[in-house]
Structure formats: structure tokens, C-alpha cells
Chain A
Amino acid sequence: MNPRLISFLLWLTVLSGGAQSTLFTVQNNGPRSKRINFVFLSEGYTAAQLPTFAGHVNTAINYLFSREPWQRYRSFCNVFRIEIASAQSGTDNGSAGTTATTYFNSGFNTPGVTQLLTIDSTGQNRAYALMNTHVPEYDVPIVIVNDTKYGGSGGNISITSTNSSSAQIAEHEIGHSFAGLADEYDNDYPGYTPSEKPNNTAVTSRNLIRWRSWIAASTPVPTPENGAFGSAVGLFEGSMYRTVGQYRPHDNSLMRNLNRPTGAVNSQQFVISIYGQVSPVESYTPANLTRNVTQSLQTLEFSVAPKIPSLSPPLTVEWRMDGQTVSGATATSFSLLSDMFGNGSHTVSARVKDPTAYVRDDPADLLGETITWTLNLSGQLPETLAKWRTAYGPDAANPTQDGYPNLIKYALGLNPTQSIASNQRAYGGTVGNPPAMYQTLTVPRHLLRSDVSYLVEVSSDLTSWNSGAGHTVPLTDTSTELKVRDATPMGTGRRYLRLKISAAPP
């Protein structure tokens, strides 16, 4: 749309007595309840100047999302901007040195600090009213003031100007308003009361310092500011408006000066703050966390969708059955036969975790989340051989007369009261090419039992059977399939393979 036309229309509207606000989506990465929602508000832009606001917002977010740790978590964030025109351009005591009638009543030098740029309580009320209207799910509100004078302020709403440093200022102020970080300034301000913060402490005992896990054993505590530890985490004296007695973790981070590294402890706090709001799990199925299963041999399927960071490494998944980690089960989906548990109440859980190196201290486990499904199982095949024998009789019994006795059916997870189906039988095959071509035996199984052994043996005379090194080579051995090949190539005479199931000694 023609910017001039927009400006003209907005100007007409302002003239007609009501300030109009317009919401724009700058970056939409998902539902607001599952994202950190940044909201930028325009201040000191006349209707004619409003088209420049989008560029100022883009500059701020492009800078922020180029920085650690936001680079990685850009996909966790939505960005909106709310455009509303002011009657006049700029701000009070701005670069023009005059006053300006603006929507949020912003001004420099209030209350008495040259670069302190704030909006008054009327302006704050207006900002909240706008966000309640457009983005009541806001997490990080930022007002950009259309004046090139250097300055800004923190607080519940971050304020920054359009100075060339505004993007850096916004990043610094977000450190306050979103992550609860302290200024790491060591200017002494009598009357100011420091407090314990994620990046500020009065504690000097190494073992009690909040960020001790980041301090290398070789780093002295307190840490000298002689440049030798400029990029290290330590305990540097002077922080939170105190020259002495208060300590910061970084010699010179973004919470102390602009254009500086974020700092490991500050990065950690940003990530902790993100996960304090949104889960690492985006969704999961089935949505119902309780499932009643009354028939045996049911395939139960589960899945989780971890959030996907903008940068690697991806989040990890680990599956557990009744609290026990399932080896090798790290995919986003997981399936099992209901009979693997036997009857009763059991659990399947998926643990999703962000393995990021940004965080070392996460006592509340915010970077992880476990989804647990409770299964109420009945009518299942017995889960142990002892229970199986009690239910169905001796191992050699074969009530269906199909040639597969009870023990074999137990080992393969088959129903002993039903004849074996053709696709449940073990079958032979070949692998490789002459002269290295071998016979194989493939055993499909529904369950991998722990109280029986599965052994594929080979023979050349049906009398002497062997297994293991020099005789057989396992190809697959999973819960659903056992596949083994003969170690002797074909063409050397008759060769036979068989599956031997044995009950494990009690």
C-alpha cells in the first residue's frame, strides 16, 4: 500500500479525534501461548513518519537475534509492532532540545538524568491499554522513541531511542525487563540498594557464589580486572551501582557496556527466562495422558514434538518405560506392544531436553520436560515366564497343535491360545553375493523377553549345532526382529540354521 496514502489516512483519522493503532506481525513463529511475544510500540512518530517505524523495529530485532543466545532461540519468539501516530515528532528534551506532544508522553532527562529516556505513567497506561487490545499475551514490551539522541531505560516496559545504539540499548534493557538481570555498572550511587540478582552478588566465598559452576578453578576469586580474565567468568568487584562490596560475573558484558559480549552468566539467565515461560515440548500425541487397554498385543504409539531452535544442537528426546530408559529410543515417536508390560498400571514417558551449552545451572529443570502417559492394562499376555507358565502350563505344551510350543510363543510374544500366523514364523533367506553369499534366519518377534535367551545355531549335519564367533554373525537384534547369518558361505555343502529358545536360569 502506498505509504503516502497510509499517512494521509492516519492523519485524517487523528484529526477526526481518535488515535488509531494498527497491529503488524513482524515475525510469527507459532501460537502466542508457546512463544515469547515481543511487542514494539511507536512513540514520537507522526503519521507521516510511521512508515519508518518498521525499519527501526527490524534493525532492533535483527541485531538482537544475531546475538547470543537469542540467535538460537529466534524460532521461539514472535515479534509484533503496534503503530500509533503522535501529534508531533520526537520527544521532550530530545535532539531538538524542545518538548513534543507525543502519544506516550516520553522524554529525556526525566527525572534529571541526561540519557534516561522514559514514558510517564499516562504513557505507560496507554501502552498497556494498547497491548491489552492487540497482544494481551505480551512478554517483552519495547517502546521505540523516534529521536536520535542516545538513551533509554529499563523497567516493565523497555524504552529506547532511534540512536545508532538503540538496538544495543534494547538488548541491554531486555536483560532487565525480561531476564531480571542487574546492571553491572560500578558507578557509586549513594541511596541505591543493591540486591542479589542472577548476575550480582555480595557473596565472596567461591563455593557459595551463584554462578560458581562457570568459574574455572584457575580463576582467582575475587577476580582482578587486569585483562587476563577479560573473557572469563569470575567475581569482579563493582556492580549494581556499587564500587565495592557488590560483584559481577563478567569483567565487561552487555549489562555494563554496549557492544560487549552477552556474558556466559547473562546468556544462561536469558535461556532460563525463556524456558520459564515456554516449554521445550511443542506438542505431543496422544493428547489424552491416560489410556485404558483391554486387549492383548495392541500396538501403542506415542510421539512428542520438541521445539526446534534456530541453531543446532536440536533438543533431545529420551523414552522411558515405567521410569526405565529405553536404550536407543531417542526418536520423536515410540511404539510398543501392550503386552510388554503385562497387566496393571504402567507408564510411558518422553523426556525432552535442551542440551544447550548456554546453561549449566538449571535446578528447576526448566530446560527439560517429561510427558508421561499412564496405561491401565488388562487382558494382556503375562509379562514373565513364571506368570506365563501359571497361566498356560508347561513350556513344551502346545494347546493349538501348531508345532510352536508355549515357550516359543512366550519368547516371540504370541498368543498361546491361537495358532501361529504365517507372518509370525521365522524364515530363511540369503545375504551377500557369491562367493560371499550366506544363509540367514530372520525371526520376527513382538516382544523381546528378558527371561529367555534367543540363540540361532548352524549345523552341517543336523546333529552338531554351533553358535557364536566363527559360526554365526548377528545382523539385527531389536525388540521386533532377530536376524542372523551363517558365518560359512554357501556352496560348501549343506548348511542348516535353527532358533533355540531357552528359559533363563532363575
Chain B
Amino acid sequence: MKTWPVLIALLTLLILWWQAGHDPEKNASVSHAAPARPLVSQPTAESPPSLTEVAPPPAGITGEDLPRARVYRLLADGEQFSLQAVDEVQGDFRQPRAQPAGSGVLSCRLVSDKSGLLASTLVAAPVIHCNVLDPVTGGAVTYVRPAPQVMQIRLPRVEGADRLEIHADASTTEPASPSRLLASIPLDAK
């Protein structure tokens, strides 16, 4: 194993740490024992980048107090979905005051092996790429099918989740219509 890259990285971190106290813009949390946010990374396309510093928790809240959640990263290709990664995150999360509504809403559900609903959330489906107009020519461009997009779904950490179901949810449209199962993605039990 080569040791010089590690030594250089350590040296870099040491100097950055020393210098951070002289840089007023940078977060003052370099030496904080802040929570290590990426707790688990399941089948991920690649290793996450190395971490040099993390954001401080909100005032009055210690890192350990922050809620934890699980994010499921999906590749959405039209109405087909594939799991890219599962990350555990910890943060100062909020409950949205309004759910997405109208067309293009997905209902994402964690389901047990006995089809029991464990957790769910509504998210807006990945939107079509906007083709930015050319401000000079007026920008008539040719429509092309959008490329697959990655989306993230944050759900509570629950025991016994067997699969992640993605439904096209039309309950908020007018007129409302039943949801339609688009994908049922098995989850690693570990």
C-alpha cells in the first residue's frame, strides 16, 4: 500500500485545520465533533468523496440529537426506476407543510414482506429538462426525450422494510384517480 498519498492528505488536513482559524468565511466547525452524517452506504455506484469538514448542527442541538433518516437514490427513466444507493443521513430535517400535488406526483412506500405499509412519502417526479432558450436567436430547439434522472427519497428508518414501492399517485389531481404501481424494488435486509 502506498503511504505517501495518505501522508500528504494528513498534512493537507493539518494545514487546513491550522489555517481555518484565519479564514472568517469558512465554517468554524472544522474541529467540531459534528455528527458523521453518512452512516451507512449500501450499494452505491461509487465511494463518496472524502470529507474534510461538515456543517455545524443548529445552535443548541448536538449532533447526536439530530434526526436520522434513510435516503433512497433512484435512477428514474420515464416510469422505470432502479435503486442506485441507500444512504443514512442525519440532519435538521423538517416536515414539509405542503405535499406536492397535481400531475407527476410519486407515492414512495416502504413495505414489509407481508405487504404492510411501514412508511410513505409523496415526491414530485423528476421534471423534464428545461431547454433554456437562446436569448439571441429566440432559441427554437428540437425536443428530445429527456435522459434518465437521479432522484432521492428520504424516509424514516424503519425495521422490516422488504421493498420500496413507487406508485404514480393521482389522488391529488382533479379528478382524483387510483395510484398505479410503477416499481417494486427489493431492499437489502441488512
A13 within 8 Å of B by Cβ? yes
- Partner among B23, B54, B102, B132 whose Cβ is within 8 Å of the Cβ of A134: B54
B26's closest neighbor in chain A, by CB?
A: A24
Interchain CA distance A34-B60 in the complex, whole Å: 14
Given A132-B87, A136-B93, A156-B126, A21 and B49 contact (CB-CB distance below 8 Å): yes
- Residue-by-residue, is B134-150 near A (CB-CB < 8 Å gives 1, otherwise 0)? 11000111111111111
Instruction: Collect the chain A residues with CB atoms within 8 Å of residue B149's CB.
Output: 121, 124, 155-156
In the complex, A478 has a CB within 8 A of chain B: no
* Closest Cβ–Cβ distance, residue B20 to chain A (whole Å): 8
Q: Which residue of A lies closest to B58 (CB)?
A: A31
A172 at the interface (CB under 8 A from B): yes
Closest chain A residue, CB of each to CB of B94: A33
- Residues of A within 8 Å of B103, CB to CB, are 195-196
Chain B residues with CB below 8 A from A256, complex form: 133
Q: Judge whether A12 and B12 touch: CB under 8 Å.
A: yes
Inter-subunit contact A13/B12 (CB<8 Å): yes
Chain A: interface residue total (CB-CB under 8 A): 85
Q: Are B37 and A195 in contact (CB under 8 A)?
A: no
CA distance A114 to B59 in the complex (A): 46
In the bound complex, CA of A256 to CA of B132 (Å): 9
Contact between A187 and B140, CB atoms less than 8 A apart: yes
- Does A183 interact with chain B (Cβ within 8 Å)? yes
State in angstroms the CA–CA spacing of A45 and B133 once bound together.
Answer: 25
Q: Scan residues 241-283 of chain A and give those whose CB is less than 8 A from a CB of chain B.
A: 241, 256-259, 272, 275-279
Q: Are A9 and B12 in contact (CB under 8 A)?
A: yes
Partner of A32, one of B91, B98, B135, B143: B91
- In the bound complex, CA of A125 to CA of B49 (Å): 11
Partner of A276, one of B23, B38, B96, B154: B96
B144 proximity list for chain A (CB < 8 A): 111-113
B120 at the binding interface (Cβ < 8 Å): no
B53 touches A125 (CB 8 A): no
Q: How far is B98's CA from A275's CA once the two chains are assembled, in angstroms?
A: 8
Q: Is B25 an interface residue (CB 8 A)?
A: yes
Judging by beta carbons under 8 Å apart, are B97 and A366 in contact?
Answer: yes
Query: Contacts of B146 on A, CB cut-off 8 Å?
Result: 111
Neighbouring A residues of B50 by C-beta, 8 Å: 18-21
Q: A314 in the interface, Cβ–Cβ < 8 Å?
A: no
Selected from A113, A133, A190, A366, the residue in CB contact (under 8 A) with B38 is A133
Nearest-neighbour CB distance to chain A for B63, whole angstroms, equals 13
Question: Which of A21, A84, A110, A259: most chain B CB closer than 10 A?
Answer: A21
Complexed CA–CA distance, A117 and B132 (Å): 9
A129 sits at the interface (CB 8 A) = yes
B90 within 8 A of A: yes
Interchain CB contact under 8 A, A128 and B130: no
Q: Would A113 and B94 count as touching, CB distance under 8 A? A: no
Given contacts A18-B50, A32-B58, A118-B147, contact A132 B71 (CB under 8 A): yes
- Docked-complex contact B150 and A128, CB < 8 angstroms: yes
B91 and A197 contacting across the interface, CB-CB below 8 Å: no
Q: Report the minimum CB–CB distance from B148 to chain A (whole Å).
A: 6
Tell yes or no: B114 within 8 A of A by CB: no
Give bound CA distance, A358 to B27, whole Å. Answer: 35
Question: Contacts of B8 on A, CB cut-off 8 Å?
Answer: 12-13, 15-16
Residues of B within 8 A of A258 (CB): 133, 135
Question: Quick check: A153 and B97 within 8 Å, CB to CB?
Answer: no
A contact residues around B46 at 8 Å (CB): 122, 125-126
Q: Is the CB of A13 within 8 A of B9?
A: yes
Q: Which residues of A have CB within 8 Å of B20? A: 1
